[in-house]
Structure 1
Amino acid sequence: MIRLVLVLVFFVLYGSGKPTEKKTRIHQEEPLSQFQHNDDKNFDYDHEAFLGQDEAKTFDQLPAEESKRRLSIIIGKMDGNKDGFISEEELKVWIKNAQRRHIYESVEHQWNDFDLNKDGLISWAEYKNVTYSGYLDGPPMDTEYNYTQMMWRDERRFRAADTNGDLIADKQEFTAFLHPEDHDHMKDVVVQETMEDIDKNGDGFIDLNEYIGDMFTAENGEEEPEWLASERQQFAEFRDKNNDGKMDKEETLDWILPADYDHAVAEAKHLLQESDANQDGKLTKKEIVDRYDLFVGSQVTDFGAALLRHDEF
C-alpha cells in the first residue's frame, strides 16, 4: 500500500463530533491544493492554488466562455497597482489570499459547532465535549483508534494554540489549533505529532526504515516502486543533514516546514513562466485569458444556464 504523505491534506475536523483519527499528521504548510502538482495530467493543482478549493469546484462546472468572463473579472482584482499588468508579486498575493480564505472558511464552518454557549469563544471543555462526547459518556468502544491518546494530543495542541493559557480559544487561537502549520508558535507541536506518528521504535528519531515505511508498506509480496530509490537518496543527501542515519527534531522541521520554500511563491513563478508568451516577466490580460485552462479552465464545456452565479460575477 502506497501512502504519499507529502501530499496529505491536514484536517482536524471537517464535521462536528468526530475526533481526529489516524493520519492527523501535518506535512508542510497548509496546502494550496489537495491534488499533486502534475501538469502533464491536468491543471487541478493550479486551479485550486489560484482560485481556492471551493471556488475551483464552481469553475470546474462552467463552460469555457463563462470561465473566461469570470477570469477577466479576477484579473482586474489582481492588478493591485492598476498598471494593466499582473506581476509575479501580484500573483503571489492573490494565491496567498486564496489560501487564507480557505483557512478562514474552515474555521467559520466549524465555529458554531463548538461554541456551545455562544459567547464568541471556544473552551477546551466545549471542544472536548463535542468531539469526544460519545467516547466520554458511553461504554468502552471496540475500535482500532486510541481515543484517549487522540484526546491527549488534541489537548496538547489546544494548549499550544492557547497563547494566554486560559484554555479558552478566540478565533485566532482556534485557527492556530486547526491549522498549526501556519503559525510559528505551533511548529514544535507540528514536529512532535509528525515524529510520534513515524517514530515506530520510540527512540525520538526518524530513521531511514521509518521514513520509507511511512510512505510504502509492501503487501502480499508487492515489489517496491522505483520512486523509493529517489526517496532513499533524498533522505541521505537532504533529510539527514548530520549523516547519523536518522532525523532529529530540527531535521524533521526542515523536512515538513522548510524555511526556504514558499508554495505560493513557487506557484506564482510557475503560472508566470507558463503564461508569459513574450517573456517580459509580467502578464497581460490576454496572456492570462489565452491560458485560461491553466488558471481556471474546466473539463466541462457546457454545464447549462442553471448554474448559480456568485454576486461578484
Structure 2
Amino acid sequence: MLGANLFEPYLAHERLFGAVVQNAKEIDANKDGLINEEELTTWLDKMARVNDLPRAAQRLELCDANRDSELTFDEYTRCTYGVGENQLLRTTAGDYHHGFQFMHSERIRFDAADEDRNHRLSIKEMAMFLWPQHYSSMEEMQASMVLAMMDSNHDMAVTFDEFVSEESGGQKLPGLVDSAMDHFLHMDKNQDNQLTTDELKPWFTPSLHNTIKHEAKILIEKIDLNGDHLISLEEVEDAKKTWSVPAPRSNFQPIREEA
C-alpha cells in the first residue's frame, strides 16, 4: 500500500522525545530558558537532514568509478546492482512490473535530482536522489511517479477504480474498498471523481516541514507542564525524571527512514 513512509508512531515519539530533552539547551536558540514551537521546529528540521550530505558523500565516493567527484547513472547502477544501465535494462525487461518499472523509476528519480542537468550528481544532488522525501523540489517527481503507477489508461488522472486497485492490491474485499474510498474522497478536493498530480501530492508526499511542525506540537504538549505552550529547562529536567529517555543515536533522523 502506498503512502507516507513514517516511523511507527510510538518509536518515533520516543526517539524525538529523547533527543529533545538531551539537547534542550541547544534548541533554546535565544537562550531565554524557554523553547517555543518555532525553535523546536527549526531544530527538528535541521536534524532531519543533518546526515544527508555526509552519507551522500560516502555513497558517491564508493560508486564514483572515474573519481571525478560526480556520479553518472551508469556508475550508480554498476555500484548498486553490479551491472551497467544498458545491461540492467536487458536483464529486467522481461519482468516489467518488478524489474523494468523499478529501473525506470530509479532513472526518473535520478533525473529529477540532477538540478543542473549535466547527467551527473553532485553530493547535494546525490542526497536529493537518495532521500527525495527530505526535499520539496522532489515532491513533483514523487507525485508524478505515483500517478504513473496508478493511471492504467494513461489519461493523466486516477479514477476511483484505478485507486482501489492499487490501494487494495487488486483484492476488492469490502473493508479494503471502504478504506480506499475514504482516502479517495479525502484527496478529491474538487469532487470530479478523479485525482490529479496536485491532488495526489499532499497524500503521498506530505511536506517534511509540516510533518515536523506537527511533531513539535506533540512534543511541547508532552513536556509542557504549566500549559503555556512553551518548554522551560525546568520542565525538561522534570521530564528526564518522569520518562525513560533513550540516548540519541548518531544518525538521528526524526521523521523518516532511508528507503
TM-score normalised by structure 2 residue count: 0.77
Residue aligned with 1:241, SS: coil
Give the structure 2 partner of residue 99 of structure 1.
Answer: 48
Give the structure 1 partner of residue 204 of structure 2.
Answer: 256
Give the structure 1 partner of residue 221 of structure 2.
Answer: 273
Q: 2:38 aligns with which of 82, 86, 89?
A: 89
Q: Distance in 1 between matches of 2:161 and 2:241?
A: 41
**Correspondence 1:25-44 to 2 at 5 A:** 33-35=6-8, 37=9, 43-44=10-11
Give the structure 2 partner of residue 6 of structure 1.
Answer: 3
- How far 1:271 moved relative to its partner? 0.9
Give the structure 2 partner of residue 224 of structure 1.
Answer: 175
Q: Distance in 2 between matches of 1:91 and 1:289?
A: 17
1:132–1:151 contact (8 Å) kept in structure 2: no
Report the CA distance shift for 1:294/1:86 in structure 2 as closer, same or farther (over 3 A).
farther
Give the structure 2 partner of residue 46 of structure 1.
Answer: 13
Q: 1:283 aligns with which of 231, 244, 257?
A: 231
Report the CA distance shift for 1:139/1:165 in structure 2 as closer, same or farther (over 3 A).
closer
Report the CA distance shift for 1:296/1:176 in structure 2 as closer, same or farther (over 3 A).
farther
Give the structure 1 partner of residue 99 of structure 2.
Answer: 147
Runs of 5+ consecutive residues of structure 1 not aligned to the other structure: 9-32, 38-42, 57-70, 299-306
Of all paired residues, the percent bearing the same amino acid is: 23
Residue aligned with 1:122, SS: coil
1:58-102 residue CA offsets vs partner (Å, 9 max, x unmatched) = xxxxxxxxxxxxx65511221111111111112112211221124
- Aligned residue type for 1:6: G
Q: 2:144 aligns with which of 177, 192, 196?
A: 192
- Aligned residue type for 2:190: N
Residue aligned with 2:33, SS: coil
- Aligned residue type for 1:100: R
Decide which moves more: 91-100 or 250-259. Answer: 250-259
1:198–1:211 contact (8 Å) kept in structure 2: yes
2:77–2:83 contact (8 Å) kept in structure 1: no
Q: Distance in 2 between matches of 1:218 and 1:157?
A: 26
1:78–1:91 contact (8 Å) kept in structure 2: yes
Q: How many residues align?
A: 246
Q: Distance in 2 between matches of 1:193 and 1:118?
A: 31
2:143–2:200 contact (8 Å) kept in structure 1: yes
- How far 1:193 moved relative to its partner? 0.9
Q: Distance in 2 between matches of 1:263 and 1:155?
A: 27
Residue aligned with 1:244, SS: coil
TM-score normalised by structure 1 residue count: 0.65
1:205 matched to 2:153: no
Report the CA distance shift for 1:110/1:229 in structure 2 as closer, same or farther (over 3 A).
same
Report the CA distance shift for 1:289/1:199 in structure 2 as closer, same or farther (over 3 A).
farther
Give the structure 1 partner of residue 65 of structure 2.
Answer: 116
Q: Distance in 2 between matches of 1:138 and 1:258?
A: 31
Q: Distance in 1 between matches of 2:173 and 2:110?
A: 40
- How far 1:106 moved relative to its partner? 4.4
- How far 1:261 moved relative to its partner? 7.2
Residue aligned with 2:110, SS: helix
1:213-234 residue CA offsets vs partner (Å, 9 max, x unmatched) = 3333476x96526xx6465234
Runs of 5+ consecutive residues of structure 2 not aligned to the other structure: 251-259
- Aligned residue type for 1:45: A
Residue aligned with 2:200, SS: helix
Q: Distance in 2 between matches of 1:127 and 1:224?
A: 41
Q: Which segments of structure 1 move beyond 4 Å, counting only runs of 4 or more?
A: 137-146, 258-261, 292-296
1:240-296 residue CA offsets vs partner (Å, 9 max, x unmatched) = 122221101221224334569701111111111222110112112232343349987
- How far 1:167 moved relative to its partner? 0.9
Give the structure 2 partner of residue 20 of structure 1.
Answer: none
Report the CA distance shift for 1:88/1:189 in structure 2 as closer, same or farther (over 3 A).
same
- How far 1:116 moved relative to its partner? 2.0
